[in-house]
Chains A and B, each alone.
Chain A
Amino acid sequence: MKSYYDHIIVGNGVAAAGTIEGIRSTDGEGSILAVSAEKHPVYGRPLISYLLEGRTDREHINYRRDSFYADNGCEVLYGERAEALDAAGKKVVLSTGEQVGYGKICIATGSNPFVPPFEGLEKVKNKLQFMTLDDALALSELLSEESRVLIMGAGLIGLKCAEGICRRVREIVVADLAPRILSSILDDECAGFIQRHVEKENISFLLGDTAERFEDGKAFMKSGRVVEFDILVLAVGVRANTALVKNAGGAVSRGIVVDTHMRTSLEDVFAAGDCVENLDISSGTGKVMAILPNAYAGGFAAGVNMAGGTKLFDNAMPMNSIGFFGLHAMTAGTYEGQCEAFRGDDGSINRLYIKDNLLKGFIFIGKPERTGVYTYLIREKVPLDSIDFELFRRTATQTMFSHDERGRRFGGVV
């Protein structure tokens, strides 16, 4: 390690990979250092459940080829943390106590799992989070065909964990304080539809319920139920990891505040990924969106700008494609305005949210085909009176656009 790098990246997830590629798209020379608390090269974090399920493996979970860091001339400090940021002195302090200077720095520290202060939690021996490859590997070690697993949290992470392990364990109970599963992205009807599908497996739910206290192997729920378990997975929620910027005096709200260049309020300090708040163009509000597409795109933009180029990340919005046992739910944007809803003959749920002549958001369950056309309508704010509304309501097709518009979209390089 040198005492100075042109570019330092704190974190080594997908936002960091985007930053590295963004820097190198603009500056082939400058030195780059990535400080990586995890001991692994960048991997697809959402794939950890697929790893447990056997749908990927240790080799294929890697987000980039083996020579990625070497090809990009990027040094990586594995298993080390940046403990403090000295923005005025343009230095970071590492967990070893060493200090490293930088020209530009990108904070790509992701999110931390949020663990509520459950009484007696310390008495539970087999408890894990489900955030990292190491968490997944540790969980895999603990599992057996006899295991009873209690998962606290029926959000995306808790449910993906359940899907990943359900065929390897005896039974799974998923508990959540919210009255429905996936409560941040689905309403009651949609959530119920997916819940019934998931319940066909050895997975049951305790909703509107949470643990009052724990003993080893036992959760005493608010409802009075007692859940006996062998393994406890805590997946209640995540919080943006903002500490470095906050402690250095930078602007932080629920996430690190950045502009469309991914600059924080501190000079030469950029940030990207789950740790930041971006403007959600579908709602017009600042949000921590914590999804991988935004992590990559924000990181890439940060990298270009750090290297002296110009790249805006100004079209962030929530979007999730989540599948459970073959049933796919596609969601994007904000659910505000008037809802055009219909059930397909195949039972699929289709919802389009319309306001001020614009598509603002959608939920499609069981019909994922070509949904990106709707994502495009939200993102590009296409006036709905410029397209064939009847076709738009029924199916995602290019023929909803006018002949001229189709010619423009398909007639040249895009």
Chain B
Amino acid sequence: MKRIYVNEKWCLGCHLCEYNCAFAASGSSDMSLALKGRKLYPKIHVEEGSDRITFAVSCRHCTDPMCMKSCIAGAISKEDGIVKIDRSKCVGCLTCVLACPYGALAPGENGIMQKCQLCTDNICGEPACVSGCPNGAIVFEERD
């Protein structure tokens, strides 16, 4: 199955992936209308370490997802390899945040969890973080 991978060497730390992610989820066709002046809730985030390391993190779509096993509402499931969340069941307890080894999960607006579903839940078709990365640091491909 194709997943999102980040090549740390090429990540510029520009945070464009975060904007593209939030824009993809907005369903809008105008980026500035959709994002300007708003607090963003992207499902990918860039982490910054010492020595100018930057690194984008999003859901790994684990083989044995800890978030899914831990969800007290049964809101997280796996379909065709994609770890999905039913936001109408989520109560925002954050147990999945406590369980995810990759720190890849964060709540959206109103405290209800959201997660990367590889842009299968919007009209992009292909992950927006990947197609919008200016340096080709984020790829969508099959690996072992």
Q: Does A375 contact B (CB under 8 A)?
A: yes
Among the listed A50, A400, A412, which residue makes an inter-chain contact with B91, where contact means beta carbons less than 8 Å apart? A50
Say if the beta carbon of B27 comes within 8 Å of chain A: no
Residue A296 CB within 8 A of the other chain: yes
Within 8 A of A (CB), among B33-61: 47-50, 53, 55, 57, 60
Are A399 and B48 within 8 A (Cβ)? yes
Whether A44 contacts B103 by the Cβ 8 Å rule is no
Whether A368 lies near B74 (C-beta < 8 A) is no
- Closest chain-A Cβ to B77's Cβ sits at a distance in Å of 9
Known: A293-B69, A300-B69, A410-B60. A56 touches B91 (CB 8 A): yes
Q: A321-B98, A398-B103 are in contact. Are A372 and B66 (CB under 8 A)?
A: yes
With A and B bound together, what is the CA distance between A320 and B70 in angstroms?
10
Contact A293–B70 (Cβ < 8 Å): yes
Q: Mark B64-86, 1 if CB is under 8 A from A, else 0.
A: 00100110111000000000000
For the complex, what is the distance from the CA of A62 to the CA of B55, rounded to whole Å? Answer: 38
Number of A-B contacts (CB under 8 A): 139
Interface string of B96-109 (1 = CB under 8 A from A): 11111111011000
Contact A411-B72, Cβ < 8 Å, known A330-B98, A332-B98: no
Whether B95 sits at the interface, judged by CB under 8 Å, is yes
Which of the 9-residue segments A26-34, A241-249, A255-263, A401-409 touches chain B?
A401-409
**Is B6 part of the contact surface with A, judged by Cβ < 8 Å?**
yes
CB distance from B43 to the nearest CB of A (A): 14
Determine if B16 is an interface residue (Cβ-Cβ < 8 Å). Answer: no
Are B73 and A319 in contact (CB-based, < 8 A)?
no
B132 beta carbon closer than 8 Å to chain A? no
Q: Provide the residues of chain B in CB contact with A414, threshold 8 Å.
A: 60, 62-63
User: Which residue of A is nearest B51, CB measured?
Assistant: A399
Please report A residues at the B interface, Cβ cutoff 8 Å.
14, 17-18, 42, 44-47, 50, 55-56, 60-64, 292-293, 296-297, 300, 319-323, 326, 328, 330, 332, 368-373, 375-376, 379-380, 388, 390-391, 396-400, 403, 406-407, 409-414
